Structure 1
Amino acid sequence: MGGGTMTVARNNDLEAQIAEWRAYMHRRRELHRTDAEELEDHLRSRITELTEAGLRADEAFLIAVKRMGSLDELSREFAREHSERLWKQLVLPGEPDAPTAARSRRELPVMVLCAAVAALAIKVPSWFGFDMSDDDGGFYARNLSLFALPALAAYFVWQRRVGPRVIGVLALPFILGAVIANAYPLADDSQSMALTAIHLPLALWLVVGVAYVGGDWRSDRRRMDFIRFTGEWLIYFSLLGMGGGVLTAFTVGTFNAIGLDAEGFVQSWLLPCGAMAAVIVSAWLVEAKQSVIENMAPVLTRVFTPLFAATLLAFLVAIAWTTNGVDVERDALILFDLLLVVVLGLLLYAISARDLTARPGLFDRLQLALVVSALIIDGIVLLAITGRITEWGFTPNKTAALGENVILLTNLAWSAWLFLGFVRGRMPFARLEHWQTRYMIVYAVWAWTVVLAFPPVFDFA
């Protein structure tokens, strides 16, 4: 009886290990489900051979996985052997089953409808006298995120089939953002207006994240999926933006060749409507073609991580060599905050694309150097901001910069500690992933705090 119970327990443990291996393999979008099943059959046959030779099930699993090679190696080998199929995946629809095919056919018109709504939404204010070319009151700067992001959230609501309760939760922040952006008396040249224009899109993007995960915001895995989506969306949006720039140049040039001035149409319709529609189209492309393109972001991460690490280290050496302080004027604050955000983005996307079971390597040490360098720079900037506030008092910009740098400092400090523990073999990598996904709520709370509380606290200055 006891031996049978132990055997069942070992089998359950083995199935749990295989399930974890399978879950990660399914994240490797280069592999079709049939390919993944074939690899799993191969893994199981090797485990059977090893257990029949006298090894325990857990030992057999580890040896079988090691002999098969890492999933990254399997993916690369698969890409080499099936390059034609991967290319067709990128430009042609695949061969899904009937329900999936029917749903895919419905997604295109829904995406087009949402893109059209976003494109037309930015023209609606002009019907009420808000001219985009003469935006003295900063109306478009305050409301820019309210033209496209509600349509993007609606697209994900339809795609994820979320219930009325989640829809109500999603609608409230958009309504609140619209009221605050337009009810507060924000002058065009005020710091509060600039902060609202910067932080409201971030706050609403995280609301879109709730729609993306289908309301399942408590799941670390789904939040990491949204982080991964954000990186891929930025790549697609940038590519569409570059393509749109080429289209704009050709449009103006060809019409000028026949004596017609197209610049008015480009400025009033093509650029604003195209930019809003591109927000939706980029999301649709990520969802439709992520089986191939999602590898672009990890590649870019591996390229730019060592470059940014070298740049930050050089900056720290320059500070030590010249003993110059950090300029904390507005433009410099924005530059440093953007730099820290880029570093955090590189860290987040590297985490989202990493095999959690792989051992630490050189790239992990480079990331640790990047995070530690950013942490030191953040500390230097914080000291400079604190000094200026002590001397000149609080302003909306300096207070926002202080809060944001404290938030980033906290994230980077704990990330560095977790990374160090992982590199030294004392902590699992999954703890770093859980920390980053759960810290997203801090960004959301801070963004809404700046949007809602800062203007009245600082008398809308």
Structure 2
Amino acid sequence: MTAAGNDYDLEGQIAEWRAYMHRRRELHHTDAEELEDHLRSRITELTEAGLRADEGFLIAVKRMGSLDDLSREFAREHSERLWKQLVLPREPDAPTAARSRRELPVMVLCAAVAALAIKAPNVFGLDMSDDDGFYARNLSLFALPALAAYFAWQRRVGLPVIGVLASLFVLGAVAANAYPIADDSQTIVLTAIHLPLALWLVVGVAYVGGDWRSDRRRMDFVRFTGEWLIYFVLLGLGGGVLTAFTVGTFHAIGLNIEGFIESWLLPCGAVAGVIVSAWLVEAKQSVIENMAPVLTRVFTPLFVAAMLAFLVAMIVTTNGIDVERDALILFDLLLVIVLGLLLYAISARDLTARPGLFDRLQLALVVSALVIDVLVLVAITGRITEWGFSPNKTAALGENIILLTNLAWSAWLFLGFVRGRMPFARLERWQTRYMIVYAAWAWTVLLVFPLVFDFA
């Protein structure tokens, strides 16, 4: 066996051990990570002593003892852990409990800051009803810095990480506002689309406590993103119902509050909801983690059917793909949704399970998306050849090449897993490490495209 193959086998064994740990409800994710670090250090010691990696893994697991014994050991060594109360109930962890009680007011403060921030431009004569493009460019800058601040406080990140976060948000604000971009230009639309993506990944740096190089922490952020989206949508639906009842009841007594709803309640509630949703995900993880995998399993076969029907319709009708801006956005959103389904299925999957029907469905989903991406790229290339480059077409070309690369290698890894030739952990690592490519592209569109295309 080669050294590379031995490393892959070791990573697969560690992935199975990690999946077992995550299924134990008495352990928080961060505690499981510390246990894994403990395991890896023991394996390193054994391999340096001359053992093979797989032998070192078995001996290290054996020496670590049972999970309960090890839990008690870690509880004594890490007295700040909240889960110590489950293992050593006679020694309450007062500092951690006090910190948990402080999270609610800190969350409320961050949500209030976001709500006030979105109304602050009114002081300078800028209103959301004005169609000048300011709010379209800057919408993410009102909520995401407050969300990053909440996570920075919660994770107790150091000053260097805070400096990096602040610098990136300032860079995003400069990119959105310093360039002389016309209100009707293509680059302003690209800025409005890519700035939230770039800044959301900055929030990810705060979420992982600055440990962005860790594949495990990146996957935690992927899980958080899916869970946050579910909560945000649920809050939005509930807020819409509440707003409708509020308007109706006030109208019944002759008062029209629609102006207040449009100018204050909706914008302030939306940006505050970004913070509240994140807090709910952190506070209620055990509830929402059961929802996202169910949604993934429901929509994966539906999206497979829809994309196969689309491909069959293209073959039967021989119609090409329209590559106008709205169509490009639609296809890119479709591919992003496919990747989202893939990512969340990976994050929620039991790594110890053997390939099953759902894995084959996911492979069909990825292959269908890959074929559609190739067709879109052919159409975009044809339009660029005929009409030349434009900001929209160039951005669509780059994004579809990035998605094509991800989908192609994901399909290859998935095929290897389904055929039993490689561990599922390789697919997980590929997806988490590819997030750097998305971040680099988003910042490129923000900072470089306006200059290259002369702010058109």
Same fold (TM over 0.5): yes
Aligned residue type for 1:303: V
Does residue 451 of structure 1 match 2:428? Answer: no
Counterpart check, 1:365 vs 2:391: no
Q: How far off its partner does 1:259 sit?
A: 0.6
Instruction: Provide the C-alpha distance between the structure 2 equivalents of 1:387 and 1:182, rounded to a whole number of angstroms.
Output: 33
Q: Match for residue 122 of structure 2?
A: 126
- Alignment partners' CA distance in 1, 2:308 and 2:161: 45
Q: Is the 8 A contact 1:148 1:277 kept in 2?
A: yes
How far the C-alpha of 1:291 sits from its partner, in A, is 1.8
Confirm or deny: 8 A CA contact 2:12 2:424 kept in the other structure.
Answer: no
Q: 1:101 aligns with which of 77, 97, 104?
A: 97
Q: CA deviation at 1:18?
A: 9.7
The residue type equivalent to 2:112 in the other structure is A
Q: Percent identical across equivalent pairs?
A: 83
Kindly provide the amino acid, as one letter, of the partner of residue 139 in structure 2.
L
- In the TM superposition, what is the alpha-carbon distance from 1:103 to its structure 2 partner? 1.6
Aligned AA (1:128): F
In 1, are the aligned partners of 2:380 and 2:393 still within 8 Å (CA)?
yes
One-letter code aligned to 2:108 = V
> When the two structures are aligned, how many residues end up with a matched partner?
394
Aligned to 1:224: 219
Deviation at 1:19, TM superposition (A): 7.7
Give, in whole Å, the separation in 1 of the partners of 2:190 and 2:15.
43
Native 8 Å contact 2:110 2:149 kept in 1: yes
CA distance in 2, matches of 1:19, 1:400: 39
Instruction: Determine whether 1:208 maps to 2:208.
Output: no
- Provide Cα deviations, 1:21-76, integer angstroms capped at 9, x if missing partner: 563234337x2349x99xxxxxxxxxxxxxxxxxx9999xx9xxxxxxxxxxxxxx
Which residue matches 1:260? 255
Matches within 5 A, 1:312-461: 312-461=307-456
Q: Superposed, which structure 2 residues align to 1:144-155 within 5 Å?
A: 144-155=139-150
The offset of 1:233, in angstroms, is: 0.3
What residue identity is the alignment partner of 2:103?
E
Deviation at 1:188, TM superposition (A): 1.6
Structure 1 stretch 324-333 or stretch 98-107: which is displaced more? 98-107
Residue 140 (structure 1) aligned with residue 123 (structure 2): no
Separation in structure 2 between the aligned mates of residue 232 and residue 99 of structure 1, nearest angstrom: 28
Q: Which runs of 4+ in 1 moved over 3 A?
A: 16-23, 56-59, 96-100
Deviations 1:185-234 (A, max 9, x none): 12221110000000000000000000000000000000000000000000
Q: Distance in 2 between matches of 1:302 and 1:233?
A: 18
CA–CA distance in structure 2, aligned partners of residues 248 and 207 of structure 1: 32
Alpha-carbon distance in structure 1 between the residues aligned to 2:383 and 2:291:
41
Offset at residue 99 of structure 1 (A): 3.5
Contact 2:380 2:397 in 1 (8 A): yes
Matched residue of 1:397: which SS?
A: helix
Q: Name which of 7, 19, 25 aligns with 1:24.
A: 19
Partner deviation per Cα, 1:353-395 (whole Å, 9 max, x = no partner): 1122211000000000000000000000000000000000111
Over aligned residues, Cα RMSD in angstroms? 2.5
Shift of 1:101: 2.2
Amino acid at match of 2:396: A
Work out whether residues 114 and 152 of structure 1, in 8 Å CA contact, stay in contact via their aligned partners in 2. yes
Q: Is the 8 A contact 1:137 1:187 kept in 2?
A: no
Matched, 1:165 2:160: yes
Task: Establish whether residue 270 from structure 1 lines up as the match of residue 265 from structure 2.
Answer: yes
Q: Partner amino acid for 1:32?
A: E
Q: TM-score, normalised by structure 1?
A: 0.82
For residues 365 and 393 of structure 2, the distance between their equivalents in structure 1, rounded to whole angstroms, comes to: 25
SS at match of 2:115: helix
* 2:208 counterpart letter in structure 1: V
- Structure 2's unaligned 5+ residue stretches are 1-10, 33-54, 62-91
TM-score normalised per structure 2: 0.83
How far off its partner does 1:292 sit?
A: 1.9
Say yes or no: does 1:310 pair with 2:302.
no
The aligned amino acid for 2:347 is: S
Counterpart position of 1:44: none
Question: Aligned to 1:345, what secondary structure does the other structure show?
Answer: helix
Q: Distance in 2 between matches of 1:383 and 1:19?
A: 42
- Give 5+ residue unaligned stretches, structure 1: 1-15, 38-55, 63-95
Of the candidates 280, 286, 289, which is equivalent to residue 285 of structure 1? 280
Q: 1:259 aligns to what SS in structure 2? A: coil
